[in-house]
Every structure is written in C-alpha cells, then in structure tokens.
Amino acid sequence: MTPTRVRLVRLRTALLALTLTVLVVSLWAFHSVQNTAETVRDRTSQAVLEVTAARAALVAADAAAVASFASGEAKLAGPGQEYANQLALASQSLARVAEFNQAGEDGGNALQVVESQVAAYSGSIGQADVHFRQPDAAVLGAVDLWHASRLLHAPGGVMEELETLQGRQRDALDRQLSSTG
C-alpha cells in the first residue's frame, strides 16, 4: 500500500471514531435534556402552580368565612359552603405539592409547617363558629375570627410560609434548568 492510501485509511478510521463519539455524546445530552424537560413539565412546574392555587384558595376561604360571619349567616350555617369548598381546594393543592415536591427535605419541611398552620387556621374558624352561635359570646367569636385571619396573613403566617415553599420549588426549577445548560 502506498503511504497516501495508508494515511487516508487512518484518517477515515479516525473520522469514523470521532463521528461515533459525537453521536453517543449527542444522544446522551438529548436524553438528559429530555428527562429534565419531562421532570420540569410533570413535577416541578406543577408544584409551583399548586402552591399558587393553595394560596388563592386560602385567601378565598378566609374571605368567605369573614363574609359569612359578617352577614350573620354563620349563626345558621357556620362559616359557609364556600369556605368549606375553598379550604378543601387548598388541602387538595397542598397534597399535590407534596406529591410533586422537587425541593427535597426543605420543601417537605416547609409543607409540614404550612399544613399545621392551615389546621390551626381551620380550628380557629371552627372555634369562631362555636362562639358566634352562643348568645353572649359574639365578641369571643370575633376574636377567634381575627386570630384565624392573622394565622393566614401575619408575618410568619401561612401566606408567608407558602411564599417560602414556592421559592424553594422555584429554586429546584432553576437548578433543573441550569443543569441542562
């Protein structure tokens, strides 16, 4: 064989090996990006959206409870059906956040804090209902209702904790997106 022919065979072999290497690396990168995109679509973005839905439902539940007590309906029907519906929606959203959580242990811990605060909020609304139904305890009912609203809106309350939880989910989203770049 001539030296030129040997050289061409070696170059062709090297190009073929390089092409196969690029193909394998490209397939691996594509698979990695695809998995990240699926995780973001199916889990992380859902967790962020469910935190937002829980916040909206809790604000609506609180408004419905306050309206029920302010109108006097609470003496007949308690905090009302709208309050119960919105509280149930918030609980469902929090359950889905737990299912889709991508923030790890920090997200799980924040979610536990939120769930315990929501339980305390619901308990205060129930206590307000009991007091509003008693003839001489309307002032205690108003205090319980005020306390329940403070559990939602005060610093360190449910809304602030939900903001923290959403921030942790967004941080997880940012980490996932930056790991593919």
Q: Which residues contact 85 (CB under 8 A, 6 or more apart)?
A: none
3-state secondary structure of 74: helix
pLDDT value at residue 40:
66
Give the pLDDT score at 74.
67
Contact 170, 177 (CB under 8 A): no
Domains of the chain in start order, with CATH, are 45-179 (1.20.120)
pLDDT for 52: 92
Q: How far is CA 40 from CA 27, 44, 148, 165, in A?
A: 20, 5, 35, 17
Spell out, as residue ranges, where the chain has pLDDT lower than 70: 40-43, 74, 180-181
**Predicted confidence (pLDDT) per residue in 95-117, tens digit:** 998 888 888 888 888 889 999 99
